[in-house]
Chains A and B, each alone.
Chain A
Amino acid sequence: NAGVTQTPKFRILKIGQSMTLQCTQDMNHNYMYWYRQDPGMGLKLIYYSVGAGITDKGEVPNGYNVSRSTTEDFPLRLELAAPSQTSVYFCASSYSSGVLLGTGELFFGEGSRLTVL
């Protein structure tokens, strides 16, 4: 199995541009998440989804949008990119809601490194 696949791996954007980070998983997991990782800051939850058609905000949702039309896919949209959105973005999935309670296992993709200039 491929697990969680993210594209693109690297991208450079100009201020004000928009783009979509793609994420797909083949493990039939209901729960999917988007995190951003900045040096010395750990991982911050941007948005998450508990199933197709259902999404909710995490700790740092401003400047981002998500949709979940299928179980497999959970794209992250950046509108009007800003330098503060320069980061490494990780998509993750889990089988159970336990992740939200701290007991389930998160499966991560390899990350997408985004630079906004």
Chain B
Amino acid sequence: TQLLEQSPQFLSIQEGENLTVYCNSSSVFSSLQWYRQEPGEGPVLLVTVVTGGEVKKLKRLTFQFGDARKDSSLHITAAQPGDTGLYLCAGAWNQGGKLIFGQGTELSVKP
């Protein structure tokens, strides 16, 4: 069974702090996505990365795909209360596997 492990599972920080969320697997991804989910709503796509070593920026969010395509990270600079939510990574493997989601990281940013 292919697994995506996210860490940490829970993160509670003060407004203005920086944070990093990790997504790891023992298998090589063909691509990886990050979604954000607010309470009572469905997940919304933030980014897709497909190339090893790729870095994408979305305002204060920086997404990195590992060189070996087995891991990814999401870094938030100067977190704001509006960043609060569940962050999910989702990956697909080269052998035609379907999109698999990690267990999520619950982020709480306090004013």
Q: Which residues of A contact B (CB under 8 A)?
A: 4, 35, 40-45, 48, 58-59, 90, 92, 99-103, 105-106, 108-111
Contacts of A48 in B (CB 8 A): 98
Q: Are A58 and B98 in contact (CB-based, < 8 A)? A: yes
Q: Which residues of B contact A (CB under 8 A)?
A: 4, 6, 9, 29-33, 35, 40-45, 48, 50, 88, 90-92, 96, 98-104
Closest B-chain residue to A44, C-beta based? B101
Given A42-B88, A101-B92, 14 more pairs with CB closer than 8 A? A35-B101, A40-B9, A40-B104, A42-B101, A59-B98, A59-B100, A90-B42, A99-B99, A100-B92, A100-B98, A101-B30, A106-B35, A108-B43, A110-B41
A102 in complex: contacting residue of B6, B88, B91, CB < 8 Å:
B91
Q: How far is the CB of B93 from chain A (nearest CB, A)?
A: 8
Q: From B33, B42, B91, name the one whose CB has the most chain A CB atoms within 10 angstroms.
A: B42
Q: How far is the CB of A108 from chain B (nearest CB, A)?
A: 3
Q: How far is the CB of A12 from chain B (nearest CB, A)?
A: 18
B48 in complex: contacting residue of A43, A92, A103, A109, CB < 8 Å:
A103
A42 in complex: contacting residue of B32, B41, B96, B103, CB < 8 Å:
B103
Task: Compute the total of residue contacts between A and B using a CB distance below 8 Å.
Answer: 68
Contacts of B90 in A (CB 8 A): 43, 102
SS of B interface (majority): strand
Closest B-chain residue to A91, C-beta based? B42
Closest A-chain residue to B48, C-beta based? A103
Q: Are A102 and B42 in contact (CB-based, < 8 A)? A: no
B29 in complex: contacting residue of A42, A44, A102, CB < 8 Å:
A102
Q: Are B50 and A106 in contact (CB-based, < 8 A)? A: no
